[in-house]
Chain A
């Protein structure tokens, strides 16, 4: 198939399926077809070798800059400013995927300014979970996960500050990668919490996830938080043999906090994953040091840093901001500096303790979310007999890992109910280990991300 045919088919799928899901906030048909035509012409003329993602359509959370578009970051405010900020150039991540041959087809729904885990965006409506449209897609990258789960695109980009890739990947049943903090450039993406923000891909297979990850790597002066490390390609190192490389990895299942905060479906997913691995390699148990403190530190830092970023708009444009998050931002603006300072110090202590854990382990398996996708509009979830507010609590199990800045693959585990993923967590800069274990789970038939029923 030519790139043009592929893009046309993709656009037709979006037109047919998106009204049921509401994942897209803009479809960039003209740009995509132009790019596809240029790719086809270059190939016909033998001018350029096809890149590793040649002709693959992708879409991005609408916090990524796309030249000529207003970077909305899920807001109404950015569109309605007297002088809206129109992006002059593509975000680094968009440019890198296109340099690898992929073709941008659209922009995706999200929680306003990435402060949420549900993508119940009041301005454009909620993104619906393709596996059950009455349920949340998760967030804040809910449009990204839903677009991939519904088969509208094979690849999408999102961002993950406290779990915004892993939560929607888990609820929608796709693979998702949060990289080591500093691995992938955030250049040209709307920030949320500078000391926690990462960006990463969603896909329906680990190999596609790794191909995108490889294309996104490399230093970038546009992002002061991006490390100056040379790319460490992973996709070519993934073997079809599920045993390959597994025997060198010391794998453990996380207990303690990660069991206490997970409901039955989440624990069953972890057990299925660990049981499959245990048939090949030993799987021990481990305790994440100070998990609750790590989550708490990330929570306080997020509230204060996020609020400070939006202080002017809270003062002047409160009425235009998202009702689900604007009062959380207001509370964050009132956090005493001493609490934030303490949170950063506790974070440093947590990071040191978690790094020590990786002296005796390479990969840790944990649940990704406390429960299956709640109904859209649900204010509460129940975890361990306790009633918790749904929107902040969906990130209970992802925030401790964000605090430590570690790489994680969300791997959806086959089951009988709604989608549910596990977190496959690796040591700093060891994305390859997490991808290897997720790939092994996929090859063993335990992890899979099929297109949702009714969207095939």
Chain B
């Protein structure tokens, strides 16, 4: 089975940003990021018109 690329992403991202991901917390960080990936996949599946801009600062 191919390795999940998220493992390499976490290691590389932590090194890039200088974050303390090590053998003590790596599994928990991966679990949380996998949950976010699942949610993000559902969001990415939504058909969005190019003109639909984000609201970086949302004000009613």
Per the 8 Å Cβ criterion, residues 5-60 of B in contact with A are 9-10, 13-14, 17-21, 25, 28-30, 32-33, 35-36, 39-40, 42-44, 46, 48, 52-60
**Interface residue? A225 (CB, 8 A):** yes
Say whether chain A's binding surface is mostly helix, strand, loop, or mixed.
helix
Contact string, A425-438, partner B, CB cutoff 8 A, digits 1/0? 00011000000000
Give which listed residue, A196, A292, A327, A349, contacts B32 with CB less than 8 A: A327
**Interface residue? A397 (CB, 8 A):** no
Per the 8 Å Cβ criterion, residues 297-342 of A in contact with B are 297, 299-300, 303, 311, 314-315, 318, 326-328, 330-335, 339, 341-342
Contact string, A269-292, partner B, CB cutoff 8 A, digits 1/0? 000000000000000000000001
Beta-carbon contact of A297 and B43 below 8 Å: yes
Known: A296-B42, A314-B20. A334 touches B58 (CB 8 A): no
In the assembled complex, the CB of A245 is this many whole angstroms from the nearest CB of chain B, namely 23
Known: A224-B57, A303-B36, A334-B10. A345 touches B52 (CB 8 A): yes
Known: A296-B39, A331-B33, A344-B54. A181 touches B59 (CB 8 A): yes
Give which listed residue, A225, A315, A331, A392, contacts B57 with CB less than 8 A: A225
**Interface residue? A343 (CB, 8 A):** yes
Beta-carbon contact of B36 and A344 below 8 Å: no
Known: A180-B60, A293-B43, A300-B36. A348 touches B55 (CB 8 A): yes
A104 to B51, CA, bound (A): 48
**Interface residue? A131 (CB, 8 A):** no
Q: Which residues of B contact A (CB under 8 A)?
A: 9-10, 13-14, 17-21, 25, 28-30, 32-33, 35-36, 39-40, 42-44, 46, 48, 52-60
A172 to B46, CA, bound (A): 37
Known: A331-B35, A348-B54. 7 other contacts (CB 8 A): A183-B60, A296-B39, A296-B43, A315-B17, A332-B32, A342-B43, A343-B40
Q: Which residues of A contact B (CB under 8 A)?
A: 180-183, 194-196, 224-225, 227, 292-293, 296-297, 299-300, 303, 311, 314-315, 318, 326-328, 330-335, 339, 341-349, 351, 392, 405, 428-429
**Chain A residues with Cβ under 8 A from B29's Cβ?**
327, 330-331, 334
Known: A292-B42, A327-B28, A327-B32. A314 touches B55 (CB 8 A): no
